[in-house]
Amino acid sequence: MKIIYKLFTIAAILVFFAACKKEQYAELNKGNSALAISASANTILLKEKDKNADILILTWSTGSNKGTNAGISYTLELAKEGTNFSDAITENLGKGIYGRKFTTGDLNDSIRNHFGATAGEVFSLEARVLARSLADGSSEDISAPAVIKVTPYNPVSTTLYLVGDAAPHGWDNNTATALTPIAAEAGGFSYTGPLNAGELKFLTTLGQWVPSYNKGASATSLFYRTDFGQPDDKFLISNQGNFVVKVNIIDLTISIEETAHPLTPPYSRLWIVGDATPNGWNIGAPNEMQVDNGNLFVFNYNEILKAGEFKIPVATGDWGADFYMPATNHQDLSSTDVQLVKGGSPDNKWQITTPGAYKIKLDLYNSKIDIKAFTPYTQLWLLGDATPTGWNINSPTPMVADPNDPYIFTWQGTMTAGEFKIPVATGNFGCDYFMPMVNHQSINIKLCKFIPAGNPDYKWQITEPGNYKITLNQLKETIDIVKQ
């Protein structure tokens, strides 16, 4: 994902220190009392392993409203020391805000990309706060700056791919298999699936052989390879099987373990049958579930269901076929238990007691099912450099709700060459999104999926600039991207 490096525009990494009670403006009638700012630390060494941890807190005094009995509005600025705040990062905070909290990762991104700070070298950062009474004609107070010495780091890659004759797509570095970032582990990636007998290593960028992560001094260590003159050792997979691969490119560690899970999904098509579904108990033509193109073990069914029952056959036209069923008849919908019943007996079924929209996800790999009622979002947006507002998560491009269907949103306008995805909230890059099934899937493919916290970070890609109409059905998880 492209990162907006204007630190103060990323609401996900800012914590408001708001007054716990209504401001008593008369209490701020302090004449010319000094406005002051302080930092929780004056020397900071940033470490990527702690990128999600809070690292700096700036707080300031209330200042004065010049005896006007009016509220006070605050502005916070960060700048390189000695520049007189000529190229500052600025945020207008409004009233009742007396502090800001920053994470390691976002402070690092900001000073490197806005100010050009060099990784491993001390960067002198200045912070100051400006206060203005909201009464007409009032002058502005400016605090003396607080100086913080910050040493940034070079961030590791946010993408990682498997390549090699042991990998699913072989040695083709343009179609290498993506690993999934581990959200709670800085630098962590994982892959669960089939591997062949052979060699493998890890690429950071599709189509490029370097940089790569190769086998290090042992089978559990990685070596970061940056040019073709360095050793090109690979990890060896001795037999075909299904594996769990976990790596951390900050710690340079790796584990590769074979599992007993199947190499391929046991079924490529599944259906859903029952009087809760649109087609009822018609075993000859039950409603089909949709396979997730990004994970062939996962099947989805999103629909408005009636009060009634359902189960999941592996074939049509035969009541004696095998069925996926709940562990017990009418088990609670919050339970993820599921079983494959040979011949359909005992005949357990899930029961819908409250009609409405539901999203059902059956995961054959982990043998679990999620059945959740779905409430449509009342606003959706487009986010990305292909859109008119770019990667501005605070003010992305709004889509328009269909007045006759709460599940459908549309947008029409000019798009540039670039990427986009669809957030369900603003001000937080870590929010939930509607995304393509796989990264950069063809815009002709109508399937999309809801991805909590946007991880993995898939985007659609616009290669031909022009006028587009985009229509999203958030219940069915389908999208139409049509160039006009």
Q: Does residue 2 form part of some domain?
A: no
Q: Please determine, for residue 10, whether its predicted confidence score (pLDDT) is greater than 80.
A: no
Residues 335 and 404 in one domain: no
Q: Does residue 174 form part of some domain?
A: yes
Q: How far is CA 116 from the centre of its chain?
A: 26
Average pLDDT for residues 104-130, to the nearest whole number? 94
CA distances from 376 to 265, 266, 429, 447 (A): 31, 33, 20, 18
Percent of the chain with pLDDT over 90: 74
Q: Does residue 138 form part of some domain?
A: yes
Residues 67 and 39 in one domain: yes
Question: Which of 320, 355, 373 delimits the end of a domain?
Answer: 373
The model's pLDDT over 206-230, given as tens digits with 9 standing for 90+, comes to 999 999 999 999 999 999 999 999 9
Q: Please determine, for residue 335, whether its predicted confidence score (pLDDT) is greater than 50.
A: yes
Residues 23 and 145 in one domain: yes
Residues 236 and 188 in one domain: yes
Q: Please determine, for residue 9, whether its predicted confidence score (pLDDT) is greater than 50.
A: no
**Confidence class of residue 38 from pLDDT cuts 50, 70 and 90?**
very high
The model's pLDDT over 421-432, given as tens digits with 9 standing for 90+, comes to 999 999 888 899
CA distances from 32 to 29, 54, 75, 139, 443 (A): 9, 34, 18, 11, 61
The model's pLDDT over 263-281, given as tens digits with 9 standing for 90+, comes to 678 999 999 999 999 999 9
Residues 291 and 367 in one domain: yes
The model's pLDDT over 294-304, given as tens digits with 9 standing for 90+, comes to 788 999 999 99
Query: Do 4 and 391 meet the contact criterion of CB atoms below 8 Å apart?
Result: yes
Residues 174 and 254 in one domain: yes
Question: Which of 120, 151, 182 delimits the end of a domain?
Answer: 151
Q: Does residue 306 form part of some domain?
A: yes
Residues 325 and 395 in one domain: no
Q: Does residue 156 form part of some domain?
A: no
Spatial separation of the C-alpha atoms in residues 481 and 477, rounded to whole Å: 13
Spatial separation of the C-alpha atoms in residues 204 and 211, rounded to whole Å: 6
Domain boundaries, position 108: 7-151
Q: Does residue 265 form part of some domain?
A: no
**Confidence class of residue 33 from pLDDT cuts 50, 70 and 90?**
low
Residues 43 and 103 in one domain: yes
Q: What pTM was computed for the model? A: 0.54
Residue 399 belongs to domain with CATH number:
2.60.40.3620
Residue 138 belongs to domain with CATH number:
2.60.40.10
**Residue 465, preceding peptide bond in cis (omega within 30° of 0):** no
Residues 20 and 137 in one domain: yes
Q: How many domains does the chain have?
A: 4
Residues 104 and 44 in one domain: yes
Residues 136 and 168 in one domain: no
**Confidence class of residue 6 from pLDDT cuts 50, 70 and 90?**
very low
Q: State the average pLDDT for the chain.
A: 90
Burial class (CB in 10 A: 0-12, 13-18, 19+), 463: exposed
Residues 391 and 364 in one domain: no
Q: Please determine, for residue 31, whether its predicted confidence score (pLDDT) is greater than 80.
A: no
CA distances from 477 to 108, 372, 442 (A): 36, 14, 16
Percent of the chain with pLDDT over 70: 93
Q: Does residue 264 form part of some domain?
A: no
Q: Please determine, for residue 164, whether its predicted confidence score (pLDDT) is greater than 80.
A: yes
Question: Which of 355, 373, 391 delimits the end of a domain?
Answer: 373
Listing DSSP states for 250-273 in one string gives TTTEEEEEEESS-SS-S-S--EEB
184: left (phi over 0), alpha (psi -120 to 50) or beta: alpha
Spatial separation of the C-alpha atoms in residues 185 and 8, rounded to whole Å: 24
Q: Does residue 125 form part of some domain?
A: yes
Give residue 7's pLDDT. Answer: 40
Average pLDDT for residues 439-462, to the nearest whole number? 90
